[in-house]
Amino acid sequence: MELSKRLQKIPPYLFVELDRLKNEKIKEGVDVIDLGIGDPDLPTPKEIVEVAKKALENPAYHKYPSNAGSLFFRKACADYMKRRFGISFDPETEILTLIGSKEGIAHFPIAFINPGDVVLYPDPAYPVYRLGAIFTDGESYPMPLTWENDFLPDLTKIPGDILKRAKIIWLNYPNNPTGATATKEYFKELVNFAKKHNLIVAHDAAYIEMYYEEPPISIFEIEGAKDVAIEFHSLSKTFCMTGWRIGFAVGNSSLISALAKVKSNIDSGAFTAIQEAGAYALNNLEKLVPPLVKVFKERRDFLAEELQKLGYEFKKPSATFYLWVKTPKNMSSQEFCKKVLQEVGIVITPGIGFGNAGEGYFRIALTVGVERLKEAIKRLATLKL
Ligand SMILES: *Cc1c(COP(=O)(O)O)cnc(C)c1O
């Protein structure tokens, strides 16, 4: 059966060879350390699980959920946005429950992209921004994130003819995979730029609570952002809830209602019991999150210090659980990652897998404990370059 042209356009999965090698190593009995996966290893805080268990017993929740999400959950989202960023949102018109932020990110372009419209997306990046353009027969245009630009796209480099056709600009700060954060000045420039060129700003804020120094800002802390922006939030990384599938979109009411219209024709909303657990999590964020962040901070500090001692080059991330590191001796990212797996049994992700501008880097995820990281460092020190 021939795949649709759209599906054929999806870039090939670059990690086939690495996956094969990893499985081969495990079969050989090698104690493989996996620093490749962006999925927190810690369990969801017990209190959240307890709320969900009770909610499961509620027969009202066994029926179809509300399409846009339960009002109590959207209210918890609005309260969080107000407490954390000082911005008010109407839970009924400016917030939408998502079944994990990924589905919202993937579905959003359906509401706005016609064939030939351009979607601007960062490179390297989470692949879903680009896939949304492919699924709508849009065109996608990469904005390179470079070391020199502190991994913030240079908006002046986007060609005029692209800009004329561009409709959505995707950004993600704190950033996966580079670990970079955006400044208020940058977001200000972005909002002005978007207004000038008639762009929708779509900001992915999945890591906005996973920070170790200054709290990262929301796009809505910029005056006038609500005129042009939608922001995608996720409970996945914040509360170690990746398996639960819960997040929300917040922002301009026309953008929110357009996404709601797409979703109401595709899915039937998030399970209400999970929204109840999610509302509890958001309402108790200030108590629940610091113990989790402390664990990742200890890992970040340890790994950053040790990698530096080994001579690796990177910018120490102030947020996210990733380190974005230059490959030594200008090796290609695939070549280096293969060598590390082959010779010392450690899985890391080649930068090229996140886009062409990711070449020359690799990503380490802080998703194993410090003891395992110690072992990883011991092994890396023996690597012959
Ligand atoms: C993990 C991740 C998400 C999505 O998380 P969900 O589990 O779908 O909420 C979105 N964006 C980035 C950059 C991520 O790394």
pLDDT tens profile 303-344: 999 999 999 999 999 999 999 999 999 999 999 999 999 999
Instruction: Please indicate, yes or no, if residue 123 is contained in any of the structural domains.
Output: yes
206 lines ligand 1 (CB under 6 A): yes
> What are the tens digits of pLDDT across the range 356-379?
999 999 999 999 999 999 999 999
Q: What angle do CA 286, 101, 54 make, to 5 degrees?
A: 60
Asked if 142 contacts 134 with a C-beta cutoff of 8 angstroms, the reply is no
Query: What is the rounded distance in angstroms from the CA atom of residue 62 to the CA atom of residue 296?
Result: 36
Please tell me the distance from the alpha carbon of residue 106 to that of residue 162, in angstroms, as a whole number.
22
In Å, how far are 137, 322, 383 from 132, measured between CA atoms?
9, 24, 40
Q: Is 231 in the pocket of ligand 1 (CB under 6 A)?
A: no
Q: Which residues of 81-99 are buried (b: 16+ CB within 10 A; e: fewer)?
A: beebbebebebeebbbbbb
| Å from CA of 13 to ligand 1 middle | 18
In whole numbers, what is the pLDDT of the chain averaged over residues? Answer: 96
The HSE-up count of residue 293 (CA atoms within 13 Å, CB side) is 18
Average pLDDT, integer, range 49-74? 96
Domain that holds residue 60: 46-286
135 with 278, same domain: the answer is yes
CATH number at residue 31: 3.90.1150.10
Q: Residue 18 has what pLDDT?
A: 83
pLDDT at position 281 over 80? yes
Q: Would the CB of 349 count as within 6 Å of ligand 1?
A: no
State whether 194 and 133 are in the same domain: yes
Number of domains within the chain: 2
| Whether residue 373 is found in the same domain as residue 270 | no
Angle between helices 71-85 and 272-283 (to 10 degrees): 20
- The CATH number of whichever domain residue 73 belongs to comes to 3.40.640.10
**pLDDT single digits (tens) 152-194:** 999 999 999 999 999 999 999 999 999 999 999 999 999 999 9
Q: Which of 244, 260, 286 is the last residue of a domain?
A: 286
Pocket test for ligand 1, best of 108, 126, 320, 349 (most atoms within 8 A of CB): 126
Ligand 1 contacts CB of residue 100 (under 6 A): yes
Is position 385 within any domain?
no
Cα of 324 vs centre of ligand 1, distance in Å, is: 17
At residue 16 the predicted structure's pLDDT band, cuts being 50, 70 and 90, is confident
What atom of ligand 1 comes closest to residue 234's alpha carbon? 9
Structure tokens at 100: 């994990």
**Pick from 68, 111, 60: which is nearest to 90 by CA?**
68
